[in-house]
Structure 1
Amino acid sequence: MKKHLFSTLLFLLVVCSCTSNKKSLIIEENENNYVKENYEKKEIKITMRDGIKLHATIYSPKDTSKKYPILLQRTPYSCRPYGKNKFKDKIGPNITLMKEGNIIVYEDVRGRWMSEGVYDNMRAYIPNKTEKQTDETTDTYDTIDWLVKNVSNNNGKVGTWGISYPGHYATMSTIDAHPALKAASPQACIGDFFFDDFHHNGAFLLSYFRAISLFGTYKDQPTNVAWYQFPEMKTQDQYQFFLDKGPIKNLNNYFKYSDTSIDKDDSKKLIDDFFWKEIIEHPNYDSVWESKGIIQHLNKVPSTVATMIVGGWFDAEDLYGPLETYKAIEKHQPENNNILVFGPWDHGGWSRDKVKNTVGNYYFGDSISLNFQKNIETKFFNHFLKNKETNSLLLPEAYVFDTGKKKWQSYDTWPPKNTNKQIFFLSDNQKLSTTPSSKSKAINFTSDVKKPVPYSEDIKTVFTPRKYMTDDQRFAARRPDVLVFETEVLNNDVTLVGDILAKLKVATTGTAADWIVKVIDVHPHDLEDDNDEMQKHLKLSNYHLMVRSEVMRGRFRNSFSKPEPFIPNKKTNVNIKLQDVFHTFKKGHKIQIQVQSTWFPLIDLNPQTFVNNIYKANKEDFKTQIHSVFTDSTIEYYISK
């Protein structure tokens, strides 16, 4: 296992969130003028190997007395503001890097905004390309090649970064990388669309409905004006909206998609959306989704490119991507400089300037994001792009936040090696037990498609839901269609580290079902509130913090590419891999597991009768069923020694 030259300042001391000086890192009021006063701006077109021209905006320090590295972000979200005399308020990964001086470049990816070409949502990597074939790796290579040859005062070293989609493009930059690329930081990066963002284990994230058109509509020429339209739901009650709409096919009237059930004349009035069509026509993990996945190609990251993968433990959009990106690079390129940083953040939370660090209603400490920006992210790029701190200490590669203790920890690998595998059994008395039941028993519940379990007690019509990742789960525990299993009050701290595997034994009266497992930290009754931003009806006392959750669309229990029905009333194995955690359940708390079959409208409703394509299911396909979970079901997890 390799080590990393990083910072002489020990991470644990620098980033201790609870003792940070709030005032020391607060952004100055006149920050908005800094970029214009200290940077020159140029807008240029860079020609790709196939002749397509991509739009880029270059911010170069006015101080030309020294050379600077180039920090590049490729984005589908635009380089705005456009215009020679219009400047961003902030540029680069963070304020510190902006003020230290770097050449900052933003580029509209192929087919987006002011760039030419045709956009493809998660364009597939092409192995063994011909000279004129292009993908995101070649566009990045050609962009970097032009920049190092044509931008004044650059030192010949390039770093890439980005969050979410731009994080995906940062990952792409590392594959078949340009020799000038020395550092890349994919953050909240997409890994595979069947497990990230719009799907979780094949289940469709219905609550992302409004985001579809952002990525699924073509433009016919370069433009600085948005060409896509968001569906108008005309209500703040998202739960009722989707419940009233019924089957997914009834949403086709928001897009220009038609099948035999949609009137052709009506479809002419709708939005042409290629991404919606991909989702509808490819319900299984076929070559379309597989080709878009990037994890399989990370054996092509050269040792000359250092990577820092960043994610949030409560990222609703992209939790799978950064974890699997880090693990894949470790697997294929174990000698690479590959760093993992995971903190108590939602999607992109580490990039924000807030002093108080909360996710939803839950408070984790102060200045966590600001300290990351100044003392981790900045030092990473400076070391590999400016050769700063060459006498730095050798430090472990994983910097992860314990979301229970609210403390950072360092490891020389992730997951750490010093762990023990443990097993909980789901007991018929609704307890989590460390010993199996003497006889397997079925615990039954009714799954009513007309009254699905809400994913939150506070559902609003939002672009993408985020706060539910730390929501209080008491509302769900009190429903008859949610099974609850919990430990006794803990006598000692228990720290869960790494992945969690739920091995359910289930049955259903139908032929199809989804299965959702949630891991919950039940807080003591005597806790005082520590967050004045918490919703007024909630208290930290007895708060049921959701630590991790995941869904498995039951038809994919054996294969994501070959779905199969359940045999009614037959006991069946369903395994659900929950993404990694790092959470200490403190003494006096309880560990709780919730099992349910609907999670609405976070994910779409399963008809609970097997159909070839759920997206084309009819109203009569949706049936209420009785589901069973057996007491020889287990939860496998790892604890730190």
Structure 2
Amino acid sequence: MSQGTPQDSAWIRENYYKIERYIQMRDGIKLFTSFYIPKDTTEQHPILLTRTPYSCAPYGEDRWRNFAAGYLRYYLREGYIIAIQDVRGRWMSEGEFVDVRPFIKDKKSATDVDEPSDTYDAIDWMVKNVPHNNGRVGVFGISYPGFYSTMASASAHPALKAVSPQAPVTDWFMGDDFHHNGAFFVMDGWDFYSSFGKPRPHPTTIGPSGFDYYTKDNYKWYLETGAMKNILKLTGDSIAFWKELYQHPNRDAWWQARNARVALYDIKPAMLVVGGLYDAEDCFGAWNVYKALKAQSPATNSHLVMGPWYHGEWASNDGTHLGNVQWGSNTSFWYQNNIEIPFFNYYLKGKGPEPKLSAATVFFTGENAWHQFDRWPPAASHEQSIYLQPDGGLTWEAPAKKNSFSEYGSDPAHPVPYTEDVHFSRTREYMTDDQRFASRRPDVLTFQTPVLQEDLTLAGPVIADLKASLSSTDADFVVKVIDVFPDDFSYVPTGPLPVRSHDNPAAYPMGGYQMLVHGEIMRGRFRESFEKPVPFTPGKVETVKFSIPDVAHTFKKGHRLMIQIQSTWFPLVDRNPQKFVDIYTADDSDFQKETIRIFHDSEHASRIILPVMK
């Protein structure tokens, strides 16, 4: 694909027209919807719908989205009717907005509305009222619109033939944007809800303003703002969902009702679940929506695509690299041309042969190649333990020593930064960032293998199985899987490095690069149950076992596998006071230093369980 041109915009204007309509739901609430419709009346056209809380702007039938700037222009070339709807309670739609509105399985009356029912009513109106539609509807969307896509698949409308949830919000307590294993991703949460969460008393075309920070250094702002209760004071009661977060520190019924997977039974349309291996907002949703479909709706025609992408990069014009790490091809264009557009063309237009999509199409970084599998994790992947050793070793043999441990001090007043640079907005590049800055800190443990004598490919979830003791009653545990490049590795010709800039990122010194393949955090209090947290007993060796979202990566011969362990990841994640108190109501005085031991002996062997693919 080439970049969009002015000719694309002119062609779209010449061949399409726009209308805006209110569509009434079963309870009388009307949802605002924009339609871009082909002028061609010689054939019937499929409808491609996105439902969004982020606005179907620009508003006004004479004001158009810039479809020519991205790959959506190819859907217009194919003659699709593009529909974009403001969900209930957002922007120009009527009603009350509810974040990740719970699914109602057994609806008793017209007042029992949820996202599947709103989608059903919207689709029903469209196929009956939009001119020259062919009676076939597809739904897709990225991130929060990905959640609405998942919910659409449960609507059971007979006209809905194909759905693509992309990086879908799925479970905000377990792994999406705002919590990972119960640990709160405060920077993303506050940056988002301090504007998005502001009340909208009536339909509007004007978006909310953001929060006015006093510094562009996010590490400084979150550290000086202090305990979570201090952030709540910045909004009072004005942002309802932010306040509700504080009232539900554990995975109680309120959170469980907001797990989108509860809707994924007996799904009828073809499903194309898409996500990014290096998606800073949501590495969890795509993997877990797909796994839920396979487990709960096995008859559904479901497919998974995971590429080496940041959040939404598969819909961009460039999928060649992330940060300093390069993929060797434009993976986004490959996906658009070979998977998504043929998928919708077949199911909505009956165009071309049925796509020969495998159950899982996954890009393996390191190797930099696409692979197709009839299941995920692949049948060739099996669990193999690699053990932490004294003196920073990492081997396939269990440790033999007795009473052996590595120790570090964790100080919430000086937390480990998640990236080494000073910046304001959370970066997307941190997902592949060089971790040498962290390995040089005394509060980060580093374990690595000898130089690999053959390629090592991982395909599936990684499980951290740590044996740890604390000097206090609670702690977080961050485990990072890292690819250490050879000292002589380079993306550029040998010789002096050119000046590095945004236009020439390849100039970064890649020799010895410690590429973050994936990292994950576990809030220690939830090691036995996410519903009922328990404190640690000081000095007692306890098991902290948790899953790191799926990895698809080849550690090439000559590289090393490294594991880093730390207890703060700031300000990506809120700080644990390091004693067993309610973190959302804790005082600044509750935060304390702590000594943490990770054991690697014959009785307490800490290990990382790897999904090794042969």
TM-score between both structures, scaled by the size of structure 1: 0.91
Are residues 1:178 and 2:140 paired? no
Quote the RMSD (CA, aligned, Å): 1.6
One of 329, 332, 349 as aligned partner of 1:369: 332
Question: For residues 323 and 278 of structure 1, what CA distance do their matches in structure 2 show?
Answer: 27
- Structure-2 residue corresponding to 1:553: 523
Are residues 1:199 and 2:169 paired? no
One of 120, 138, 160 as aligned partner of 1:159: 138
- Structure-1 residue corresponding to 2:23: 46
Are residues 1:426 and 2:379 paired? no
Are residues 1:446 and 2:409 paired? yes
Identity of aligned residues (%): 45
Q: What one-letter code is carried by the residue in structure 2 that aligns with 1:517?
A: V
Question: For residues 403 and 28 of structure 1, what CA distance do their matches in structure 2 show?
Answer: 32
Residues 287-344 of structure 1: per-residue CA shift (max 9 Å, x gap): 1111111112211412xx0000000000011111110000110112223210100001
- Structure-2 residue corresponding to 1:602: 572
- Structure-1 residue corresponding to 2:497: none
- Structure-1 residue corresponding to 2:342: 379
Mapping 1:76-475, distance limit 5 Å: 76-90=53-67, 94-132=72-110, 133-194=112-173, 195-208=175-188, 209-226=190-207, 228-257=208-237, 272-302=238-268, 305-354=269-318, 357-390=320-353, 392=354, 394-438=356-400, 439-462=402-425, 464-475=426-437
Cα displacement (A) at 1:130: 1.6
Please list every run of 5 or more consecutive structure 2 residues that lacks an aligned counterpart in the other structure. 493-499
Cα displacement (A) at 1:256: 2.0
Are residues 1:71 and 2:48 paired? yes
Cα displacement (A) at 1:371: 2.1
Contact 2:167–2:276, Cα closer than 8 Å, also in 1 = yes
Question: For residues 325 and 493 of structure 1, what CA distance do their matches in structure 2 show?
Answer: 30
Q: What one-letter code is carried by the residue in structure 1 that aligns with 2:180?
A: H
Question: For residues 481 and 277 of structure 1, what CA distance do their matches in structure 2 show?
Answer: 33
Contact 2:154–2:264, Cα closer than 8 Å, also in 1 = yes
Q: 1:290 to 1:465 in 2, by over 3 A?
A: farther
Question: For residues 535 and 239 of structure 1, what CA distance do their matches in structure 2 show?
Answer: 24
Question: For residues 507 and 471 of structure 2, what CA distance do their matches in structure 1 show?
Answer: 38
Are residues 1:634 and 2:607 paired? yes
Q: What one-letter code is carried by the residue in structure 1 that aligns with 2:139?
A: T
SS in structure 2 opposite 1:502? strand
Question: For residues 589 and 572 of structure 2, what CA distance do their matches in structure 1 show?
Answer: 22
Question: For residues 95 and 375 of structure 1, what CA distance do their matches in structure 2 show?
Answer: 16
Are residues 1:622 and 2:591 paired? yes
Cα displacement (A) at 1:536: 8.5
Mapping 1:445-594, distance limit 5 Å: 445-462=408-425, 464-530=426-492, 533=502, 538-594=508-564
Contact 2:250–2:530, Cα closer than 8 Å, also in 1 = yes
Greater shift, 283-292 or 214-223, is seen at 214-223
Question: For residues 589 and 549 of structure 2, what CA distance do their matches in structure 1 show?
Answer: 35
SS in structure 1 opposite 2:265? helix
Contact 1:187–1:311, Cα closer than 8 Å, also in 2 = yes
Question: For residues 536 and 231 of structure 1, what CA distance do their matches in structure 2 show?
Answer: 35
Please list every run of 5 or more consecutive structure 1 residues that lacks an aligned counterpart in the other structure. 1-23, 258-271
Question: For residues 214 and 175 of structure 1, what CA distance do their matches in structure 2 show?
Answer: 30
Question: For residues 89 and 155 of structure 2, what CA distance do their matches in structure 1 show?
Answer: 22
Q: What one-letter code is carried by the residue in structure 1 that aligns with 2:212?
A: E
Q: 1:532 to 1:364 in 2, by over 3 A?
A: farther
TM-score between both structures, scaled by the size of structure 2: 0.95
Question: For residues 528 and 29 of structure 1, what CA distance do their matches in structure 2 show?
Answer: 39
- Structure-2 residue corresponding to 1:15: none
Question: For residues 375 and 564 of structure 2, what CA distance do their matches in structure 1 show?
Answer: 30
Question: For residues 276 and 393 of structure 1, what CA distance do their matches in structure 2 show?
Answer: 43
Cα displacement (A) at 1:29: 4.2
Q: What one-letter code is carried by the residue in structure 2 that aligns with 1:246?
A: G
- Structure-2 residue corresponding to 1:263: none
Contact 1:402–1:584, Cα closer than 8 Å, also in 2 = yes
- Structure-2 residue corresponding to 1:267: none
Contact 1:111–1:119, Cα closer than 8 Å, also in 2 = yes
SS in structure 2 opposite 1:614? coil
Question: For residues 77 and 93 of structure 1, what CA distance do their matches in structure 2 show?
Answer: 20
Contact 1:121–1:215, Cα closer than 8 Å, also in 2 = no
SS in structure 2 opposite 1:574? strand
Cα displacement (A) at 1:365: 2.7
Contact 2:474–2:578, Cα closer than 8 Å, also in 1 = yes
Cα displacement (A) at 1:510: 0.8
Question: For residues 136 and 44 of structure 1, what CA distance do their matches in structure 2 show?
Answer: 19
Question: For residues 484 and 131 of structure 1, what CA distance do their matches in structure 2 show?
Answer: 58
Contact 1:94–1:373, Cα closer than 8 Å, also in 2 = no
Question: For residues 133 and 450 of structure 2, what CA distance do their matches in structure 1 show?
Answer: 61
Q: What one-letter code is carried by the residue in structure 2 that aligns with 1:210?
A: D
Q: What one-letter code is carried by the residue in structure 1 that aligns with 2:454?
A: N
Are residues 1:35 and 2:12 paired? yes
SS in structure 1 opposite 2:327? strand
Question: For residues 343 and 106 of structure 2, what CA distance do their matches in structure 1 show?
Answer: 32
Question: For residues 394 and 196 of structure 1, what CA distance do their matches in structure 2 show?
Answer: 30
Greater shift, 93-102 or 520-529, is seen at 93-102
Cα displacement (A) at 1:537: 8.2
Cα displacement (A) at 1:285: 0.7
Q: What one-letter code is carried by the residue in structure 2 that aligns with 1:175?
A: A
Residues 532-557 of structure 1: per-residue CA shift (max 9 Å, x gap): 74658831111110001100000111
- Structure-1 residue corresponding to 2:495: none
Residues 420-449 of structure 1: per-residue CA shift (max 9 Å, x gap): 321100001211111111134121111111
SS in structure 2 opposite 1:336? coil
Question: For residues 355 and 263 of structure 2, what CA distance do their matches in structure 1 show?
Answer: 32
Question: For residues 494 and 145 of structure 1, what CA distance do their matches in structure 2 show?
Answer: 51
SS in structure 2 opposite 1:292? coil
- Structure-2 residue corresponding to 1:266: none
Greater shift, 240-249 or 89-98, is seen at 89-98
Question: For residues 93 and 428 of structure 1, what CA distance do their matches in structure 2 show?
Answer: 52
Cα displacement (A) at 1:246: 1.3
Question: For residues 527 and 235 of structure 1, what CA distance do their matches in structure 2 show?
Answer: 37
Q: 1:108 to 1:152 in 2, by over 3 A?
A: same
Q: What one-letter code is carried by the residue in structure 1 that aligns with 2:164?
A: S
Question: For residues 357 and 136 of structure 2, what CA distance do their matches in structure 1 show?
Answer: 24
Contact 1:93–1:161, Cα closer than 8 Å, also in 2 = no
